[in-house]
Amino acid sequence: MANIRFNALKELNTRTFKTPTPPAAAISEYFGELSFGLDKMKTALAPETFKKVEENIRKGKKIDKEMADAIAVAAKSWAMSKGITHYTHWFQPLTGGTAEKHDAFFNPQKGIEEFKGSALIQQEPDASSFPNGGIRSTFEARGYTAWDPSSPMFIMGGTLCIPTIFISYTGEALDNKSPLLRAMEAVDKASVKVCKLFDRNVSRVTASLGCEQEYFVIDRALFKARPDLVMSNRTLFGHSPARGQQLDDHYFGSIPTRVYNFMREFEIECLRLGIPVSTRHNEVAPSQFEVAPIFEEINVANDHNQLMMDVMDRVAAKHDLAVLFHEKPFAGLNGTGKHNNWSLITDTGVNLFQPRTSARENLLFLTFFVNTIKAVYDNADLLRASIASAGNDHRLGANEAPPAIISVFIGSQLTAVLDELEKNGNVQVEKGENLYMKLGIDKIPSIILDNTDRNRTSPFAFTGNKFEFRAVGGQANVGVPMSVLNLIVADQLNKFTSDVEKETKKGTEKRLAIINVLRSYIKDSKSVRFEGDGYSDEWVKEAEKRGLSNVKDTPRALDAYLTDEVVKMYERNDVLTKVEIEARHEILLENYVMNIQIESRVMGDLVNNHIIPTAIAYQNKLLTNAKGLAEIGVDNSGVKRTIEELSRFINEAKKGVDNMLEERKRLNKIEDLREKAIGYCDDVKMKYFDDIRYAVDKLELIVDDEDWPLVKYREMLFLR
Ligand code: ADP
Ligand code: MG
């Protein structure tokens, strides 16, 4: 029988470099050529219509039927001029990833190409197969997609794609985009109110996001030869290579040519779609890389991140590569995250997280800064829940990964400023600019930018003019954590406004009222701030002393969604209703169970059908050898020991897999989803995965390399 591993390895010799031919033009000439944004609408629409459309999009207002008709006609002609015949509503169901349903422009009754505003605005996908957490079955059995005009349409795969939300007929959100849009609105309103304490001219605040996306790249044939990678996106077995990331020589080293060609090509594709990809480099682990687009308005940034992952997937195939976004595809190596750089920017052009040179402006900065820290402190469990997934559990709280503790890093300069502000008890009597000086906020030095980027172990770090939420997983739809972040900040800012009002009603001068409220927040939220090594064991102990949570697994982390306070917060900010939250919670638990179930089954298959047969065949060879040696009276103790070891690990793997199967059978009878998910976590994953893997990885070291069926780590990871 042919060994799948060697067949795959043989394919490597046939690889050729596929150098992309970049468009002859400068980037500026093809950037966004496949995206139907405001620039294109401007040339295609009548000036008055465009003015209205542009204003409504900018202000987040509704696009009416008339405008939609005009836009539909313009979009159709533009798409047809590029040879496009079909359109689709493009949405982000709760399973993760994206979904589409294609329709032709062609109307066979009329015999013409047609695209109406109504088709742009709304579509009814045959969506019964998308998860809904019981919503649509209790209400109506259908859902529909509705156009999101704030994110540009684009052409991909020969189709005009229209970014949409996906909701049930009764209006419940069934996707990841809807709550993000609602949270953006909440943070906009709340921020504007706070800004008005400082500057009456602010009328809109938008949240921005720059996503740094990490990923692994391996040869496609090797990927296909690993059933675990194909089925569960991560390797369930595999011994660490002799040379892992200990040497750190991969970081910022030169990029292998095949990967470089792949990067150039997907970057060009992204740029044509209007995704502003900019930096590319190697990451810490071998075969790990990163791409970071320039930040955009958060909803567009999320769409672009989803789109970029699709593009990368497709382009990788062309280069005989496979790209992996899983949070921990390889044990013992760095995991894969998606750093979410987030800030709030006013329509007057001020980044609210940018420290300024004048004291008054710095009070505005400090207001947003301190409120964000307070929001993170008060809602650490919800933030943790927002990044919970079976994949991310391997990054957060696993043996080699950062802990699942949510803390905030702000750097020594700002720590000093906050300490000063907190300590100084006599601000009431201080007046004028002296006050700021005394508080140390008159000049927050501009070196902050260089000074705050040092700590790479913090899950939530201030990096000079933005916060960076680093605990987000590589496969995540960032609409989830970003809707939570914007929600909690919105809610906190509303509290702040009312706390300040309470003070001023008592007769306190506005500026002092602001400072007093901030001081109380600084005190309250102090324990969430941590400047040290977030990956150290000391921090885990210290955090426990401070009373910070460290929830290690998804099923338990998800509980945070259902607490009374959280549900109320979602409802009072109009982000999600209780029904919607419960539906989401259920779907997330279902996803979790499915994930572990699949991994567990794949483990069983691999052990029973690949590993054990191979180990036994090898053992039989040794047996013949041992008997032969004994016959001629030669010492066979070495061979015997190997035979014994093989038996031991074969038995261990077999026992683990059998017992795990029994456990699954027991758990599958459990109705309650939470209980089932916890069972899958504790009694399947935690109880068996590591032990089975240990036995299999030992066998890998013992069995003849010529016989081993699974592509080895060293073969996958050192791509040339
Ligand atoms: P790092 O040092 O963390 O690897 P990068 O330069 O790779 O930094 O990525 C930083 C990301 O932060 C980029 O996507 C960048 O566009 C984004 N960014 C910069 N300023 C802001 C901001 N004000 N709001 C949101 N994102 C920002
Ligand atoms: Mg970063």
Residues with CB under 6 A from ligand 1: 208-210, 212, 279, 292-295, 339, 341-343, 351, 453, 465-466
Report the CATH number of the 31-175 domain. Answer: 3.10.20.70
Residue nearest to atom 2 of ligand 1 (CA): 453
Query: What count of Cα atoms within 13 Å lies in the side-chain half-sphere of residue 542?
Result: 16
The ligand minimizing its distance to the Cα of 281 is 1
Give the number of the ligand closest to the Cα of residue 466.
1
Which positions ≥6 away from 568 have C-beta within 8 Å? none
Atom 16 in ligand 1: residue holding the nearest Cα = 294
Domain 184-576 CATH class label: alpha beta
Question: 96-155 pLDDT, tens per residue?
Answer: 888 887 888 888 888 888 888 888 887 776 555 666 776 655 444 467 888 899 999 999
**Distance (Å) from CA 470 to ligand 2 centroid:** 7
Find tokens 């979410």 and name the residue: 340
Residue 239 phi/psi, 5-degree rounding, is -80, 145
Instruction: Report which ligand 1 atom has the smallest distance to the Cα of 211.
Output: 14
Phi/psi for 446 (5° steps) reads -75, -10
* Nearest protein CA to atom 7 of ligand 1, as residue: 292
Neighbours of ion ligand 2 (CB under 5 A): 212, 339
Residues 6+ apart with CB under 8 A from 551: 381, 384, 397, 404, 557, 560
CA of 23 to the centre of ligand 2 (A): 30
How would you class 434 by CB atoms within 10 Å of its CB: exposed for 0-12, middle for 13-18, buried for 19 or more?
Answer: exposed
Spatial CA neighbour of 233 closest among 428, 391, 453:
391
Alpha helices in 254-386 (DSSP H): 257-272, 298-318, 359-378, 380-386
* CA 305 to ligand 1 centroid distance, Å: 14
How much is the pTM? Answer: 0.94
The number of the ligand nearest the C-alpha atom of 301 reads 1
Residue 139: its pLDDT value, please?
42
The pLDDT score that the predictor gives to residue 224 is 96
Which atom of ligand 1 has the smallest separation from the CA of 290?
7
* Distance from the alpha carbon of residue 150 to the mean position of ligand 1, in angstroms: 22
Interatomic CA distance for residues 654 and 696, integer angstroms: 10
Which of 275, 289, 304, 341 maximizes ligand 1 atoms within 8 Å of its Cβ, making it the mutation to test the pocket?
341
Q: How many A from CA of 458 to the centre of ligand 1?
A: 16
Which atom of ligand 1 lies at the shortest distance from residue 339's CA?
3
Structure tokens at 469: 């939420």
Helix (H) or strand (E) holding 633: none
**Ligand number nearest to the C-alpha of 290:** 1
* pLDDT of res. 122: 78
Here the tokens at position 185 are 């609105």
467 CA from centroid of ligand 1 (Å): 9
Rounded to whole angstroms, how far apart are CA atoms 435 and 362?
13
| CA–centroid distance for 641 within its chain | 47
- 10 Å CB burial of residue 284 (0-12, 13-18, 19+) is middle
Q: Which of 295, 300, 458, 486 to mutate to test the pocket of ligand 1 (most atoms within 8 A of CB)?
A: 295
Extents of the domains making up the chain: 31-175, 184-576, 589-718
Ligand nearest to the CA of 471: 2
Gap from CA of 483 to ligand 1 centroid (Å): 19
Q: Are strands 122-123 and 143-147 parallel, antiparallel or unpaired?
A: antiparallel
**130 Cα–ligand 1 center, Å:** 34
Q: Which ligand gives the minimal distance to the CA of 279?
A: 1
Beta bridge partners of 444: none
CA distances from 211 to 279, 296, 308, 336 (A): 11, 9, 11, 13
Q: Which CATH class is domain 589-718?
A: mainly alpha
| DSSP reduced 3-state for 279 | strand
Evaluate whether 184-576 and 589-718 have a shared fold. no
Among protein residues, the one with the nearest Cα to ligand 1's atom 11 is: 210
> Probe ligand 1: pick from 291, 296, 466, 486, max atoms within 8 Å of CB?
466
Q: Quick one: which atom of ligand 1 is closest to the CA of 295?
A: 16
> Which residues of the chain carry a pLDDT beneath 50?
1, 138-141, 251-252, 428-429, 446-447
